[in-house]
Amino acid sequence: MNKVIILAAGEGTRMKSNISKVLHKLCNRPILSYMIDASIESKVDEVIVIVGNNEDQVKEAFGDRVKYVKQEIGEGIPYGTGYAVKLAEDFIGDNDNILVLTGDVPLISKETLVGLMDKQNKENNLATVLTADFEDPSGYGRIVKDAKGQFKKIVEHKDCSPEELKVKEINSGIQVFNGEKLRYALNKLDINNSQGELYLTDVFGILQEEKGKIDTYKLSDNEEIMGINDKIQLAQVEKVMRRRINESYMRDGVILENPETITIEKGVKIGKDTIIEQNTKILGNTEIGEDCLIGMNTRINDAKIGNNVTIFSSFIDQAIVGDGSDVGPFARLRPKAELKENVHVGNFVEVKNAVLDDGAKAGHLAYIGDADLGKRVNVSCGVIFSNYDGKNKFRSTIGDDAFLGANVNIVSPINVADKGFLAAGSTITRDVAEGELAVERSEQKNIKGYYTRKFGE
């Protein structure tokens, strides 16, 4: 079996955060999710994550997608990558190939992992190390080879001799081992190094004494092993991830204007010929159809957008927008808002837990909450659905072709039948029958001479 152990217990002190490093967001998804996805997509049989003080948060984020092993942290407890891997010893079978990943290299691709494991399997190696050539290898462990170019050892940067510091080929921190030999070597590790830790890299020196081959597999794109140790590196890696994701959408026929300013979460579905303008975020389980225009400064999360939809500078969260509809600018669709086909929701309109049927219009400055609006309903400026009495929410229904005049207050629950007409400025507290005009205003009184009485001649 092919198995993956991901080292994710580090406290990430350089991140200067209360959030675990591996749970920081990268294009709206936890850093760790990218390593888990790459592992699963490379067809491994089991993913084991080594967790530390972040155990509860990691489990909450990933549930039963992976197996977990807790690494205790504190005085008298060994540190180091070798110790972390050894904690998963119960998952390491003699006939397994064990891929080891660090939890902070989210740019690693499934293609690289497949290539690394294929070389391990086909050549029946004891271990295979993923390496890269860096012009400036400072901080990385060096791959030391013999005169024939065969793997000899890995030396951590702090332990390198002057000659070893000149080596350009570095250890990525990603490697795959034969399970039986890995278990053997893990139990022979010691802390005889500058850090006093159990180094996983020391496994290779132990395996050199065994009969068999240790080999390397060199990266073709060094971006894949960009690590994250602080928030500057987080931003640098996110820039690369954003470019990768956006390029994949453009290859599939989506038009992105100023793509470096656009964030699209991995897994979002977008139809061809849809245009996404700058400074836009499209997140979660969102689906967008074909031939749409998503205007600048829009944020869409967990929403379903139909075909030929136009959205300008608006927030849409857990809502549905039907074919041919247009939204914004400066509109807000909150959870369970649903616009059917050819609906218009204009500037400063908020919709929550409400359905607007085909052809309904709310041009500006309105709140529609907990309501069902029929076909071709007109919602004028200033309409408010008063759906909450301080304790309970109530729902109203508006029939087809109804007209809600400016500054109407609907005190839910109210039923307005088809072609009902609510006069401007009315506060509606009773049902309205089909075709009726409802007017609810106090009698207007004009007081003569008021200005003079108040301010004088």
Measured between alpha carbons, how far is 216 from 37 in angstroms, rounded to an integer? 24
* Strand 2-7 versus strand 46-51 pairing type: parallel
Question: How long, in residues, is the chain?
Answer: 457
CA distance from start to end of the chain: 98
**Architecture of domain 252-438 in this structure:** 3 Solenoid (2.160)
**Would you state the pLDDT for residue 415?**
98
DSSP notation for 369-424: EEEEE-TT-EE-TT-EEE-B-SS-B--EEE-TT-EE-TT-EEESS-EE-TT-EE-T
Measured between alpha carbons, how far is 281 from 449 in angstroms, rounded to an integer? 58
Measured between alpha carbons, how far is 324 from 75 in angstroms, rounded to an integer? 63
User: Where do the H-state alpha helices sit in 252-382?
Assistant: none
What is the homologous superfamily of the domain 2-225 according to CATH? Spore Coat Polysaccharide Biosynthesis Protein SpsA; Chain A (3.90.550.10)
Q: Is the previous residue joined to 78 through a cis bond, with omega within 30 degrees of 0? A: no
Question: Is residue 127 a contact partner of residue 143, using CB atoms and an 8 Å limit?
Answer: no
Tell me, yes or no, if 364 is annotated catalytic.
yes
Closest C-alpha among 130, 127, 108 to residue 42: 108
Do domains 2-225 and 252-438 share one topology? The answer is: no
- pLDDT one-digit tens code per residue, 380-410: 999 999 999 999 999 999 999 999 999 999 9
Amino acid at 117: M
Of the residues 24, 157, 344, 364, only one is catalytic, namely: 364
Q: What is the three-class DSSP state of 80?
A: coil
Global confidence as pTM: 0.90
Amino acid at 404: L
Amino acid at 410: I
Measured between alpha carbons, how far is 167 from 204 in angstroms, rounded to an integer? 18
Q: Which two tokens stand for residue 399?
A: 């029939």
User: Phi first, then psi: what are they for 11, rounded to 5°?
Assistant: -85, -15
Domain residue spans in the chain? Answer: 2-225, 252-438
**Would you state the pLDDT for residue 193?**
67
User: Phi first, then psi: what are they for 221, rounded to 5°?
Assistant: -135, 105
For CA atoms 93, 96, 97, 103, give the dihedral sign: negative
Low-confidence ranges of the chain (pLDDT < 70): 193-194
**Would you state the pLDDT for residue 194?**
64
